[in-house]
Homo-oligomer: A and B are copies of this chain.
Amino acid sequence: MKRRNTESKELVLSILSNSTKAMSQDAIERKTEGKIDRATIYRILNRFCEDGIAHKVVADDGKRYFAICVKCDDPSNLPNNHFHFRCTECETIECMPEIVKYSQPENYTIKKVNCVLIGVCSECA
């Protein structure tokens, strides 16, 4: 399945690229002013994740947030291996620079990480 370049894909990509925060489907939909269908946005985002262009965090509100990968391809780190922060004031999610550290539990294989810290961000403080 070779990927194609479409308007929708480019639009979602630019919205995500111009955001300093991770975004949920509905936030993206609002930005597109209804130009793209819900299901299509999800499909585009999931494709971005498959292709390693973006990554996904599930926050403690149960929603999926997507962000462009910056250092995700660093082979020394597992995918998603950095902390995320959810501000309960401005309801945004951001990627934190800090890498999640943990001791490898005996006989466990760890393939992915999904870590969110919740609180109030510096802007809302």
Are A117 and B102 CB-contacts (below 8 A) given A122-B108, A125-B107?
A: yes
A interface residues, Cβ below 8 angstroms from B: 58-64, 83, 85, 88, 96, 98, 100-103, 105-122, 125
User: Which of B98, B110, B112, B118 interacts with A114 by CB under 8 Å?
Assistant: B118
- How many copies of this chain does the complex contain? 2
How distant is the Cα of A113 from the Cα of B103 in the complex, in angstroms?
18
Identify which of B63, B64, B83 contacts A102 (C-beta below 8 A): B83
Asked whether A114 lies within 8 Å of B115 as measured between CB atoms, the reply is yes
Closest to A99 in B: B102
Q: Are A114 and B62 in contact (CB-based, < 8 A)?
A: no
Docked complex Cα distance between A87 and B121 (Å): 32
